[in-house]
Structure 1
Amino acid sequence: MRRAVVLGGSIAGLLAARVLSDHADEVLVLERDDVAPSGAFGGDREPRPGVPQGTQMHALLDAGRRRIDQWFPGFATELVADGATLADTGSSVHSYLEGSLKVPVDGVEMISATRPFLEAHLRRRVMALDNLRLVNGRVRGLAFTGERVSGVRYAGTGTADEEVLDADLVVDATGRASRIGAWLQEGGWPEPTTRRMHVDLGYATALFRRPEGPHGATLAQSLATLPDGRLRLGTLGRVEGDRWIVLVAGYADDRPGRGIEEFLLRCKEDPAAPFRQLAEDGEPIGEPVSYRHPDNRRRDFHLLDRFPAGLIATGDTLASFNPIYGQGMSSATMHASCLAAYLESGPSLRDPAWSYFKQTRAVVDDAWQTSALNDLKLPHVPGPRPRGFKVASRLSDLIVRASVTDPVIHRRFLEVMHMLSPAKTLMRPGTLMRAARAVRKRNTPAAGAPLNTAA
Structure 2
Amino acid sequence: MGHVQLERWYPGIVDEMVAAGARLGSGSEVKFYVDGKLRPPLDDVQMIGATRPFIERYVRQRTLGLPNVRLLPGRAQGLVLRDGRVQGVRCFVGYEETVAEVDADMVVDAMGRSSRLSTWLAGEGWPVPTLQRMRVDLGYATATFRRGPELPDTVIAHSSPGPASNYQPGLCEPGALAAVEDGKWSVVLAGYGTHQPTRNPDDFLARMRHCVTPLQEVAERCTMDGAVDTFHFRESQRRLFTPVSRFPGGLAVVGDAMASVNPVYGQGLTLATLQASCLAAHLRSSLPRVPAWSYFHRAAAVVDAAWQLSTTADLAQPHVTGPYPRGYRLLRWAGDRITEASVRDPQINRAYMRVLHMLQHPRTLASPHLLLRTAQVLMRG
Q: What TM-score do you get using the length of structure 1 for normalisation?
A: 0.81
**Does the residue aligned with 2:89 lie in a helix, a strand or coil?**
strand
Structure 1 vs Structure 2: percent identity of aligned residues?
44
- The residue aligned with 1:297 is 237
**Does the residue aligned with 1:286 lie in a helix, a strand or coil?**
coil
2:225 corresponds, among 285, 299, 316, to 285
CA deviation after TM superposition for structure 1 residue 185, in Å: 1.1
- The residue aligned with 2:80 is 143
Structure-2 separation of matches of 1:253 and 1:224: 16
**Does the residue aligned with 2:369 lie in a helix, a strand or coil?**
helix
CA deviation after TM superposition for structure 1 residue 67, in Å: 2.2
- The residue aligned with 1:309 is 249
Q: Could you list the per-position Cα deviations for residues 85-105 of structure 1 after superposition, in whole angstroms to 9, with x for gaps in the alignment? A: 1111x2201111111111111
Task: Answer yes or no: is 1:423 the counterpart of 2:323.
Answer: no
Q: Could you list the per-position Cα deviations for residues 103-148 of structure 1 after superposition, in whole angstroms to 9, with x for gaps in the alignment? A: 1111121111111110010111111111100111111111111211
**Does the residue aligned with 1:302 lie in a helix, a strand or coil?**
coil
Q: Quick check: 2:72–2:94 contact (8 Å CA) kept in 1?
A: no
**Does the residue aligned with 2:72 lie in a helix, a strand or coil?**
strand
Q: What letter is aligned with 2:49?
A: S
Deviates more, 1:386-395 or 1:304-313: 386-395
Task: Answer yes or no: is 1:438 the counterpart of 2:370.
Answer: no
- The residue aligned with 2:148 is 211
2:323 corresponds, among 367, 384, 391, to 384
- The residue aligned with 2:298 is 359
Structure-1 separation of matches of 2:133 and 2:168: 20
1:375 corresponds, among 297, 311, 314, to 314
Q: What letter is aligned with 1:128?
A: G
1:200 corresponds, among 134, 137, 148, to 137
**Does the residue aligned with 1:365 lie in a helix, a strand or coil?**
helix
Structure-2 separation of matches of 1:68 and 1:275: 28
Structure-2 separation of matches of 1:206 and 1:74: 29
**Does the residue aligned with 1:111 lie in a helix, a strand or coil?**
strand
Q: Quick check: 2:134–2:323 contact (8 Å CA) kept in 1?
A: no
2:204 corresponds, among 254, 259, 263, to 263
CA deviation after TM superposition for structure 1 residue 348, in Å: 3.3
Structure 1 residue runs of 4 or more that deviate by more than 4 Å after TM superposition = 225-229
Which residues in structure 2 correspond to 1:25-104 (within 5 Å)? Answer: 61=1, 64-88=2-26, 90-104=27-41
Q: Quick check: 1:229–1:379 contact (8 Å CA) kept in 2?
A: no
**Does the residue aligned with 1:91 lie in a helix, a strand or coil?**
helix
Structure-2 separation of matches of 1:67 and 1:280: 36
Task: Answer yes or no: is 1:161 the counterpart of 2:98.
Answer: yes
Structure-2 separation of matches of 1:297 and 1:124: 30
Structure-2 separation of matches of 1:339 and 1:228: 39
Could you say what the CA RMSD is over the residues aligned between the two structures, in angstroms? 1.4
Which residues in structure 2 correspond to 1:237-252 (within 5 Å)? Answer: 237-252=178-193
CA deviation after TM superposition for structure 1 residue 349, in Å: 3.7
Q: Quick check: 1:228–1:379 contact (8 Å CA) kept in 2?
A: no
- What stretches of structure 2 of length at least 5 have no aligned partner? none
Q: Could you list the per-position Cα deviations for residues 269-305 of structure 1 after superposition, in whole angstroms to 9, with x for gaps in the alignment? A: 11x1111111111100111100000000000011100
Structure-2 separation of matches of 1:437 and 1:215: 36
Q: What letter is aligned with 2:281?
A: A
**Does the residue aligned with 1:400 lie in a helix, a strand or coil?**
helix
**Does the residue aligned with 2:324 lie in a helix, a strand or coil?**
coil
**Does the residue aligned with 1:241 lie in a helix, a strand or coil?**
helix
CA deviation after TM superposition for structure 1 residue 433, in Å: 1.2
